[in-house]
Amino acid sequence: LARGGCPSVLPAAVMDSIIIQERLVERLLSPRTQAQRSHPAKLKDHEKQYVGFATLPNQVHRKSVKKGFDFTLMVAGESGLGKSTLVNSLFLTDLYKDRKLLNAEERINQTVEIVKHTVDIEEKGVKLKLTIVDTPGFGDAVNNTECWKPITDYIDQQFEQYFRDESGLNRKNIQDNRVHCCLYFISPFGHGLRPVDVEFMKALHEKVNIVPLIAKADCLIPSEIRKLKERIREEIDKFGIKVYQFPECDSDEDEEFKQQDRELKESAPFAVIGSNTVVEAKGQRVRGRLYPWGIVEVENQAHCDFVKLRNMLIRTHMHDLKDVTCDVHYENYRAQCIQQMTSKLTQDNRIESPIPILPLPTPDTETEKLIKMKDEEVSPVSACASWVLELESKE
Amino acid sequence: PHAGPVESKTEAAMSELVPEPRQKPVVPMKPMGINASLLGYIGIDTIIEQMRKKTMKTGFDFNIMVVGQSGLGKSTLVNTLFKSQVSRKSSGWNREEKIPKTVEIKAIGHVIEEGGVKMKLTVIDTPGFGDQINNENCWEPIEKYINEQYEKFLKEEVNIARKKRIPDTRVHCCLYFISPTGHSLRPLDLEFMKHLSKVVNIIPVIAKADTMTLEEKTEFKQRVRKELELNGIEFYPQKEFDEDLEDKTENDKIRQESMPFAVVGSDKEYQVNGKRVLGRKTPWGIIEVENLTHCEFALLRDFVIRTHLQDLKEVTHNIHYETYRAKRLNDNGGLPPMTVETEENHESNL
């Protein structure tokens, strides 16, 4: 609230604090007896009347649907690991129609590029503006030293642009180009992570949500997949790489949901296969790959983890990915940036910041309290609650 | 085994030596039968049988090198080729070994026997190739090793008291493993093959070919062949060493259609249609390694072992080794390199 709100849907914590605020306002405005004031829990029946802000989530929902969502997904990994095919499979589009693949000689002098494809997808009235950030050339050269630099630079640039926009005067139509998720493709041909994989993930794990994937998983038999996943998980721990963690599901969720959530966590990193060609299998038309020895079905959970990835990315965790990007990665960047600026200010003894820091209007006690609470990184809910109690005791 | 000094035919700068046509292979591919009802039968053709017996007694050496990024199935493929556990991974090395920081050369020898013929097989593995972030010049240790083997052989050859049968550690065949990306060769692949196709017989193979469907495989092979041609990379069997029309037609077909062989390796057996086959069992079917509709392993095996094994050795000896020898002689002013009889040499000669 102190920051002027997130550009898209409000996170749950803020919703709760809105509800508490409403209750407080209600109580302050309605006449009460002393006794009732000192026993906040004992409201008379007529005061428990339905106010109506329980419809707030629906209102938010309607507004968001009208506004549409946006999501920026980055794909990274050596060329030839099926990244484009997987993206096409996930979103059932063909984003790479006009792509020209370079041959080996052309690639000798190629540097890592950043290529963006944007597509608007609509499903049941909900609009999604999807941006795919591709990184052709990554890991292909003979000498790949620091080949991730163009990628980290790109991510930082998006953060910087957002920071400027947020601190600017007109904040109505801020465009959020921050990268919400990075799918990192690990080769199935290795025995685990390669040096370039480790270095890439370490350079990016504090800037973006990394979701590691085992690419082209149909070249591995089930026991090999198990071993490889174990190996990768071990190495991720060993090297201290912070990949995206699925949030814990609430204790009041039903058992089926919890079971799904457990399976999801245990399957990471997902072993995926992509395909946009339809083949005939067991009398049904499915998306898959036709081999002389059998048909691999992309959407068959016994064949690969494509369905898990799709569900996680689109159906259950898209919002959390955006939240973590906003609340963790972007905040880290912002804090670093401000720290650098203030240290520069004290060093140079002049006010010289690239971003205009506008003086805030003199805050009233309420806003001040909220700002203080935000600064101390206290959760809005508990802060409001403690504030309520404070006011109570004062009265 | 070969008798006497051999002449060579190469384009390398060799002013001193008069180029002579390459000697025809003495040992034929198949033993010939004896026709008993000839009048005045002399028995010259029995020499073939005599040679065959000798070969069987002495056995022969074969040295095969495998190069490629880790995890491309090199060790498994070698085990599958020779139907025994001959690779580095099977000889007590830990399978979960870390990627070495520089390219290492690990040679392991085994004696395998089939039909009374003994073969001393040496598999030379190159762990660490192509696995680092910076792979510049990672082929240098490999080139160095190959030249060292030529040097060893050369030293033996110019010795005054030569051994009857010089131990042959020269690399006869180098299998280069291409990653099945489905796009094209990598810059590293080109660099390696450009540098080394002049020093050793390179046979490119597409590893883990069960990643690709039939169309993807055909397209990929075409693209790879074109790229190799565009970059002037002469892989084995090299066009310039085809001896006669028969060789040429046979090799042309292999060069233009079959190579690079798209292979799958496995050391596990499964039951398919009542037969036990080597394969990989996936949830959607069993990939049979020796089934030509599944992959080209059988073609590679026949090519390397059943038809061109001897030729690989001959090209190594008559062409690559001679090129090295000529260069060394030229560097030394036309004289053979001096071998000072040191303690070391003396011991190795014994």
Residue B40 has pLDDT above 70, yes or no: yes
| Span of A107-121, B56-70, B113-127 with lowest mean pLDDT | A107-121
User: Residue B35: inside a domain, yes or no?
Assistant: no
Calculate mean pLDDT across residues A30-46. Answer: 48
Residue from the list B181, B207, B286 with its beta carbon closest to the beta carbon of A80 = B181
- Determine contact, residues A213/A269, Cβ cutoff 8 Å: yes
Q: Do B69 and A189 touch (CB under 8 A)?
A: yes
pLDDT of residue B260: 93
Q: Do B134 and A145 touch (CB under 8 A)?
A: yes
Q: Do A195 and B71 touch (CB under 8 A)?
A: no
Q: Which residue has the higher pLDDT, B245 or B346?
A: B245
**A:B CB pairs within 8 Å:** 122
Query: What's the CATH number where A203 sits?
Result: 3.40.50.300
Q: Which SS3 state, helix, strand or coil, does residue B194 take?
A: helix
User: Residue B107: inside a domain, yes or no?
Assistant: yes
User: Residue A155: inside a domain, yes or no?
Assistant: yes
Query: How many CA atoms, within 13 angstroms, populate the side-chain half-sphere of residue B78?
Result: 31
Nearest CA in chain B to A189: B71
pLDDT tens digits for range A127-162: 888 899 988 888 888 888 888 999 999 999 999 999
Residue from the list A81, A191, A219 with its beta carbon closest to the beta carbon of B208 = A219
CA separation for the pair A292, A309 (Å, rounded): 27
Residue A4 has pLDDT above 90, yes or no: no
Calculate mean pLDDT across residues B222-237. Answer: 92
Residue B271 has pLDDT above 90, yes or no: no
Residue from the list B69, B183, B208 with its beta carbon closest to the beta carbon of A79 = B183
pLDDT of residue A210: 95
Provide the 8-state DSSP code for A45.
Answer: G
User: Residue B21: inside a domain, yes or no?
Assistant: no
User: Residue A183: inside a domain, yes or no?
Assistant: yes
Give the number of domains in chain A: 1
CA separation for the pair A293, A272 (Å, rounded): 19
φ/ψ of residue A279, rounded to 5:
-125, 165
Q: Which residue has the higher pLDDT, A389 or A259?
A: A259
Query: What's the CATH number where B308 sits?
Result: 3.40.50.300
- Determine contact, residues A285/A278, Cβ cutoff 8 Å: yes
Q: Do B71 and A141 touch (CB under 8 A)?
A: no
Q: Which residues contact B178 (CB under 8 A, 6 or more apart)?
A: B68, B185, B189, B204, B205, B206, B207, B224, B260
A335 to chain B, closest Cα gap in Å:
32
**Residue of A221, A235, A239, A290 for testing the chain B interface, max B β-carbons within 10 Å:** A221
pLDDT of residue B335: 64
CA separation for the pair A156, A125 (Å, rounded): 33
Q: Which residues contact B119 (CB under 8 A, 6 or more apart)?
A: B59, B60, B61, B62, B111, B112, B113
Q: With contacts defined as CB-CB under 8 Å, which chain B residues touch A218?
A: 210-211, 282
Calculate mean pLDDT across residues A27-37. Answer: 49
CA separation for the pair A320, A11 (Å, rounded): 9
User: Residue A34: inside a domain, yes or no?
Assistant: no
User: Residue A373: inside a domain, yes or no?
Assistant: no
User: Residue B344: inside a domain, yes or no?
Assistant: no
Q: With contacts defined as CB-CB under 8 Å, which chain A residues touch B280?
A: 221
Q: With contacts defined as CB-CB under 8 Å, which chain A residues touch B285?
A: 291, 293-295
Tell me the sheet residues that pair with B261. B205
A202 to chain B, closest Cα gap in Å:
14
pLDDT band at residue B306, thresholds of 50, 70 and 90?
confident
pLDDT tens digits for range A300-344: 989 999 999 988 888 788 888 998 998 889 988 888 888 888 887
Domain extent for B192: 58-263+293-331
A10 to chain B, closest Cα gap in Å:
42
Q: With contacts defined as CB-CB under 8 Å, which chain A residues touch B283?
A: 222, 302-303
User: Residue B169: inside a domain, yes or no?
Assistant: yes
User: Residue B239: inside a domain, yes or no?
Assistant: yes
**Residue of A291, A303, A304, A305 for testing the chain B interface, max B β-carbons within 10 Å:** A291
Residue A171 amino acid letter: R
pLDDT of residue A97: 66
φ/ψ of residue A210, rounded to 5:
-95, 125
User: Residue B208: inside a domain, yes or no?
Assistant: yes
The angle, 0 to 180 degrees and rounded to 10, between the axes of the packed helices A331-348 and A149-167 is 80
Q: Do A187 and B71 touch (CB under 8 A)?
A: yes
pLDDT band at residue B13, thresholds of 50, 70 and 90?
very low
pLDDT band at residue A212, thresholds of 50, 70 and 90?
very high
Q: With contacts defined as CB-CB under 8 Å, which chain A residues touch B184?
A: 101-104
Calculate mean pLDDT across residues A17-46. Answer: 51
CA separation for the pair A340, A266 (Å, rounded): 40
Calculate mean pLDDT across residues B51-65. Answer: 84
Nearest CA in chain B to A292: B294
User: Residue B110: inside a domain, yes or no?
Assistant: yes
pLDDT band at residue B5, thresholds of 50, 70 and 90?
very low
User: Which residue in B183, B95, B72 sits closest to A188, CA to CA?
Assistant: B72
The angle, 0 to 180 degrees and rounded to 10, between the axes of the packed helices A380-394 and A12-29 is 20
pLDDT of residue B97: 59
Q: Do A101 and B183 touch (CB under 8 A)?
A: yes
User: Residue A262: inside a domain, yes or no?
Assistant: yes
The CB-based long-range contact list for A238-242 (8 Å cut-off, 24+ gap) reads A239/A193, A239/A198, A239/A201, A239/A202, A240/A202, A241/A198, A241/A201, A241/A202, A241/A205, A241/A210, A242/A205, A242/A206, A242/A210
- What percentage of chain B exceeds 90 in pLDDT? 39
Q: Do B184 and A222 touch (CB under 8 A)?
A: no
Q: What is the DSSP string of B228-279?
A: HHHTT--PSSPGGG--SHHHHHHHHHIIIIIPSEE------EEEETTEEEEE
Longest dimension (CA), chain A: 85
Q: Do A189 and B208 touch (CB under 8 A)?
A: yes
User: Residue A388: inside a domain, yes or no?
Assistant: no
Domain extent for A211: 56-248+258-343
Give the predicted TM-score (pTM) of the model: 0.74
Average pLDDT, chain A: 78
Tell me the sheet residues that pair with B347. none
Give the number of domains in chain B: 1
Residue at token pair 């139907």: B83
